[in-house]
């Protein structure tokens, strides 16, 4: 039986609206801190979530997954619901100490041309994940296995809470070496525009600092 047929229709939701490809492409020019600041200092996911490999970076629309603790069946299901470029953003009910994702799932997700994984829990096969090259952001590495309970409730593409950030399906997700930021879909365009202005302003400030001005005088912090 296919993964699609095994899912309860009430527990999944097709992703109707995604942040546009143009905004995603523009967002790739900026680091996560700049986007977070430009958005009004919102959207920073828990700082423990970092790239498993230093070169990993993500930018794409969120497919949210709420998985039972210690179980990764809903992650497998999400791989086959998501579309190319989508980023799986997975909540594991605070049960961090399991390897929810590994080489097999990264290979499957890469074959599906997904954009990446952000999980508020651990993964395993760290060196192999780097070799596969599918971007994974997680709390860390853990070898403890997971179950696959077909009766366990889970959700795909419903609002999901990560720390103090509520992530909605279709929101803009960007991750780099500093962490992950999620920008609401309806705010993504103006956030990218604000990020460009912020980057332009900072270039001017850097030039003034290099000429010997102080940060206190530039910002008026006396």
Rounded Cα distance, 115 and 171, in Å: 13
Rounded Cα distance, 73 and 149, in Å: 7
Is residue 163 marked as binding?
Answer: no
| DSSP 3-state of 66 | strand
Is residue 102 marked as binding?
Answer: yes
Tell me which residue of 87, 79, 80, 142 sits closest to 118, measured CA to CA: 87
Is residue 125 marked as binding?
Answer: yes
Q: Kindly state the helix (H) or strand (E) to which residue 93 belongs, with its residue range.
A: none
Is residue 81 marked as binding?
Answer: no
Is residue 7 marked as binding?
Answer: no
Is residue 17 marked as binding?
Answer: no
Adjacent-strand bridge partners of 12: 156
Radius of gyration of the chain (CA): 19
Rounded Cα distance, 121 and 95, in Å: 7
Annotation: binding site: 102-105, 124-125
Annotation: binding site for substrate: 102-105
Annotation: binding site for Mg(2+): 124-125
């Amino acid at each position: 039986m296919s993964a699609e047929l095994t899912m309860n229709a009430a527990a999944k939701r097709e992703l109707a609206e995604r942040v546009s490809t143009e905004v995603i492409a523009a967002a790739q020019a900026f680091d996560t801190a700049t986007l977070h600041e430009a958005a009004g200092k919102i959207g920073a996911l828990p700082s423990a979530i970092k790239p498993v490999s230093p070169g990993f970076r993500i930018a794409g629309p969120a497919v949210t997954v709420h998985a039972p603790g210690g179980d990764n069946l809903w992650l497998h299901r999400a791989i086959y619901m998501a579309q190319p470029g989508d980023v799986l953003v997975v909540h594991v009910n605070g049960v961090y100490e399991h390897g929810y994702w590994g080489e097999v799932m990264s290979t499957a997700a890469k074959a599906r041309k997904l954009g990446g994984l952000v999980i508020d829990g651990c993964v395993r096969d760290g060196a192999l994940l780097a070799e596969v090259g599918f971007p994974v952001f997680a709390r860390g590495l853990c070898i403890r296995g997971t179950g696959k309970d077909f009766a366990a409730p889970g959700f795909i593409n419903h609002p999901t809470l990560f720390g103090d950030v509520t992530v909605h399906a279709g929101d803009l997700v960007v991750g780099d070496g500093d962490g992950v930021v999620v920008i609401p879909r309806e705010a993504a365009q103006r956030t990218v525009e604000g990020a460009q202005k912020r980057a332009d302003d900072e270039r001017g400030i850097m030039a003034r600092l290099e000429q010997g001005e102080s940060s206190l005088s530039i910002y008026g912090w006396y």
